Structure 1
Amino acid sequence: MRKLIVTMAITALGTASNAQIKDSLRRVVKMEGAYNFRDTGGYKTSDGKEVTLGRVFRSDAIDKLSDKDLKTFKDKKIVTVIDFRGIEEAKKAPDRLPQNTNYLICPAGSNNLPTAQDMAKFLKDKNFLFDMYGEGGLPYFGERYRALFVQLLTLKPDEALLFHCTGGRDRTGMASALFLYILGVPQDIIESDYVASNYYLAKNPTMRGMYSGLSKMSGLTEAEIKQQMELRPELIRNFFTAINKKYGSVENFFQVEMGMGPREIAVLKQKYLK
């Protein structure tokens, strides 16, 4: 049965995402207390370079990391953690981190997350995720992601960084998309990396429990809810479309919201490409 579920999950992701998953041994960090812990490296850029492995990681919630996980964490030389959750959200499930980890919380857009009751209502609107990635979320993107890129600029060569939220899919997915884009990774690869969270999070029992609870509240079936919540390429496309519409380009977004122009972007490429 478990094999069948995994097979169905892979099939649902499509050919492009399958390629990412087949290549996942290079990126997935096996953790006992996290399900979507991945390296952002290993992807080829449009000009033939490659994003360096072992420097920048992404994850879902890390409040349940085991002692073994903490050792893995240290072995990966992760010294800085960027948390995109809201303040109250983070208080309910504080990160479990090795001592002396540099921790920054970036809660923009997350301090008033919908309740379960709100989510049940939102699920009846098929555009609620689309809006979160576009016009609805646009006012928060700069403030939310600024600290991440400042830290990336100053990270030492022998250090690594992790960014995460609760599911490691939406807020974290947008951050990963920005990071890969600014390094020159093609859009189709960015999309494959993004939707792969569907596969990794399918193994998370918390997600299955959430679908069950929302089903009871909304009157929708679990299958309908899963379909509504599934990450799709058009969501991350809408993220970039909203940025381009307001700022003219992603590069202008970096200039205006991050204070990072061509010089800083060149530094990022020097640090995280090989």
Structure 2
Amino acid sequence: MSVYVQPYTIPNVTIKREEEQLFISMDNAKENTYQLFSGNRPHLEAINKKIGESKNSMFRVTLPVDEGPYYFVIKGEDFETNIFSERVIQLKQAINFRDLGGYQTTDGRVTRWGLLFRGDQLSKLDETDRRLLEKMNLKTIVDYRSEHERTVNPNKQIATVIQTVHCDPQSSFSEAAANAVDLNEENVKLVRQLEEGKIESKYINGKGENVIEDYQFLITSEPAKEAYKKFLQTCADVANAPLVHHCRGGKDRTGLGSMFLLLLLGVKEEEIVNDYILTGIIRKDRNQLKYELYQELTKNEDYLAYLMAMIETREEFIRASIERIKELYPTTTDYFIQHFGLTQEQIDTMREFYLEEGMNK
């Protein structure tokens, strides 16, 4: 039986799935009677079905993935959690599709569940996956991939999707992936670049300096400005939600897009960093596989260290991007207004729509 432990939901709540069984627990709970409520829409009035009661805040319930999505609230005496759900959507043919709900902001609010998603490419979705996304009423797809990537691996059609917005930030970091036909060709190209001296020697180690430089370059580059402006403007029209933005693996281009969006909404920096790091946790097995494939192509330890740094999601990578914005602008809000051309009214509207008051009490 496959077991999936959600890497993060909301503070103090843990979710583990074993096929159709969900195990939900609340950390550091006092001895009390707790009730678990569920619903298929991320609104308190819809989360009204009591599905469990416990004196130790531990629940086991049967909830098949394909009958979801599920949203939950735990209630106790004079206590109620925020809404929460399974952060990583349990799709069969995409491993990094996840909800951006439940993140805390600096003013005490949280991002709403079921409206904003990030993911990897949607080219292999099966019918069960597509039905689940349709039940989530997914309306808009923002695709950061290049035209070549989209041609080689076109996304599957999802009946509820009204529009797909293409916006390629032209990240040099993603160039090998963008021009490859499959994973093997991508790996061969990466190793060949190293062997042919196309990568500066100062980068050929495990420090990841090239990742930091590329991320920081995207903070100001014109193609990235136009791409992420289109993404943020799409989010600013709240009628486009529920919305997912994605690239190939959901790591770099999508990681920066998520950083921009969460920063704009006023999410705490620690939460933004944690969201970025989640990709590495989710892709741990895949990264190990890639390492083994790299080993088949080269035995050079410096090459291997360089290649692994490129696929990892280290805290310093995303923090360097945030620090770059702070260096250039008095406030992050100034960055979104002056660099991307958003208005204060748009930002206020987004915060009003995508955030809700914290419910823990």
Shorter-normalised TM range: 0.7 to 0.9
Distance in 2, matches of 1:27 and 1:55, equals: 12
In the alignment, structure 1 residue 168 sits paired with structure 2 residue 228: no
**Which residue does 2:322 correspond to in 1?**
240
How much does 1:42 deviate? 1.0
Conserved? CA contact 2:204–2:302, under 8 Å: no
Select 1:41's aligned residue among 101, 115, 123.
Answer: 101
Distance in 1, matches of 2:263 and 2:152, equals: 33
Select 1:153's aligned residue among 223, 236, 239.
Answer: 236
**Which residue does 1:52 correspond to in 2?**
112
In the alignment, structure 1 residue 129 sits paired with structure 2 residue 211: yes
Highest CA radius of gyration, 1 or 2?
2
How much does 1:218 deviate? 6.7
Conserved? CA contact 1:131–1:137, under 8 Å: no
Distance in 2, matches of 1:34 and 1:21, equals: 24
- Give aligned-pair identity as a percent: 23
How much does 1:242 deviate? 2.1
TM-score by length of 2: 0.64
Distance in 1, matches of 2:132 and 2:171, equals: 29
Structure 1 stretch displaced more, 83-92 or 110-119: 110-119
How much does 1:191 deviate? 0.5
Distance in 2, matches of 1:192 and 1:245, equals: 22
Higher helix share: 1
How much does 1:61 deviate? 1.6
Structure 1 stretch displaced more, 68-77 or 24-33: 24-33
Conserved? CA contact 1:20–1:193, under 8 Å: no
In the alignment, structure 1 residue 113 sits paired with structure 2 residue 175: yes
User: For structure 2, which runs of at least 5 residues remain unmatched after alignment?
Assistant: 16-83, 177-185, 357-361
Q: CA offsets per residue over residues 111-140 of structure 1, 9 Å max, x none?
A: 871364563335725311111111366304
TM-score by length of 1: 0.83
Structure 1 151/228 Cα, relative in aligned 2: closer, same or farther at 3 Å? Answer: closer
Select 1:231's aligned residue among 313, 322, 328.
Answer: 313
Distance in 2, matches of 1:228 and 1:83, equals: 21
Conserved? CA contact 2:204–2:303, under 8 Å: no
Conserved? CA contact 1:85–1:106, under 8 Å: yes
How much does 1:245 deviate? 2.7
The residue type paired with residue 168 of structure 2 is P
Partner secondary structure for residue 89 of structure 1 = helix
Relative CO higher for 1 or 2, CA cutoff 8 Å, sep ≥ 6? Answer: 1
The number of aligned residues is 261
The residue type paired with residue 245 of structure 1 is E
**Which residue does 2:162 correspond to in 1?**
101
Higher strand share: 2
Conserved? CA contact 2:218–2:224, under 8 Å: no
**Which residue does 1:143 correspond to in 2?**
226
User: For structure 1, which runs of at least 5 residues remain unmatched after alignment?
Assistant: 11-15
Q: CA offsets per residue over residues 18-54 of structure 1, 9 Å max, x none?
A: 9699469532211011001100011121211111100
Distance in 1, matches of 2:10 and 2:346, equals: 34
The residue type paired with residue 263 of structure 2 is Y
How much does 1:165 deviate? 0.6
Structure 1 268/136 Cα, relative in aligned 2: closer, same or farther at 3 Å? Answer: closer
Structure 1 83/217 Cα, relative in aligned 2: closer, same or farther at 3 Å? Answer: farther
**Which residue does 1:212 correspond to in 2?**
292
**Which residue does 1:13 correspond to in 2?**
none
How much does 1:189 deviate? 1.1
Partner secondary structure for residue 134 of structure 1 = helix
How much does 1:68 deviate? 0.4
Partner secondary structure for residue 262 of structure 2 = helix
Q: CA offsets per residue over residues 44-88 of structure 1, 9 Å max, x none?
A: 212111111000110012110010000011111111100111111
In the alignment, structure 1 residue 68 sits paired with structure 2 residue 106: no
The residue type paired with residue 251 of structure 2 is R
**Which residue does 2:261 correspond to in 1?**
179
How much does 1:221 deviate? 8.1
